[in-house]
Structures are given as C-alpha cells and as structure tokens.
Amino acid sequence: MSTRTVLQEADMSRALTRIAHEILESNRGASGLVLLGIPTRGVFLARRLGALIERFAGESVPVGALDVTMYRDDLAQHPTRAPQPTDIPASGVDGRVVVLVDDVLFSGRTIRAALDAIGDIGRPSAVRLAILADRGHREVPIRPDFVGKNLPSSRSERVNVRLAEIDGADEISIASPEGSAS
C-alpha cells in the first residue's frame, strides 16, 4: 500500500471551524441544536464541534453519541465492532435540530442506519449531516449538509482518519493498493 496525507492538523482544524460556522449560520444560532457523533471518531468530532460552537455563539450545545451498529443492513457481509454506548443528551431530540457527525461519508449506509436509530429515540424537527471527509460512492441517496473536505477516491482506496484523542495526531490519509493509480 502506498499512502498519501491529504489533510494535516491545521487543515482539519480549519475544516472543523468552517463546519461549526456553517452549522450556526444554517441554524441561525446555537438554540435548539443537538450534536450526535457516530462512534468512534464521529463522537470526538462532535465534541470538537460542540466546543467550537460554544466558543463562537457563547452558548453550549448538547453533544451525545449515537451507535448505529444494530441498525446496519450489512451486518452479514461485514464484520462489525462491538456496539458502543448511545448517549443521548438529557434534552433529548424531540423538536430539536439534530446534527449527525461522522468522520467519512462513503456508501451512506451508516447514515441510513443513524436515521433509523434516531427514529427510535424521538422526533427531531430536522436532521442535518456534518462530515469531515466525503469520498463519494453512495449506495443510498444521502447528501451531507456540512463537509470538511471532498476527497474523490477509488473504491479500492482506503481513507484513514486519525484523531489526536485516539491516535495521537490529527490527519487524513488515503492508502492505495500497490500498482493502482491514485
């Protein structure tokens, strides 16, 4: 595999700052927002966005985690990780604008599962999607509302997101199988 870095720490910081501003602009402030990160890296990204929104708007935003493992439609084809805890803020999601946060958008199946999971929790007034990296290749009609970086890639490539909270550094890289054109 050959690997190339496409976003470094400063690039990721700028992308998250822009996403936080876009969320605030779209919502006309922080009121009524709930951020739900999809484990694992989406949870850390949601926390970062929550801190940025609080810094810019002067108002804290509830941040939680939404595990979608048992809502996936591809459990038989793909080995899965153990379910992570779902942590819905005490304010709930009913009547609120929920912003789902994840690291990479690929086929859209994870987000489809997240929409099913939210439906079991409550009825938000709207659901928005914030993604750090959008690599295309949708299998379901899902489109992000807020995107840090569009990363056109082939299906054979792998997009790797590293976050300081888990991996000790912030970066996004694309790994290509040997012999393939990138």
Residue 79 resides in a domain: no
Residue 123 resides in a domain: yes
The pLDDT tens digits for 52-96 are: 999 999 999 999 999 998 887 776 666 666 778 899 999 999 999
Please tell me the total number of residues recorded for the chain in this structure. 182
* The pLDDT of residue 83: 76
Residue 181 resides in a domain: no
CATH number at residue 156: 3.40.50.2020
Per DSSP, the residues of 102-135 read EEEESSSHHHHHHHHHHHHH---SEEEEEEEEE-
Residue 33 resides in a domain: yes
Whole-model pTM: value is: 0.93
Number of structural domains (the chain) is: 1
Q: Please give the residue range of the domain that contains residue 68.
A: 2-74+85-176
Residue 153 resides in a domain: yes
| Residue located via tokens 């038989």 | 76
Amino acid found at 131: I
Contacts of 82 (CB under 8 A, 6+ apart): 69
Residue 15 resides in a domain: yes
Q: DSSP H helical segments within the chain, as ranges? A: 9-27, 41-57, 109-121, 164-167
* Stretches in the chain below the pLDDT threshold 70: 75-81, 179-182
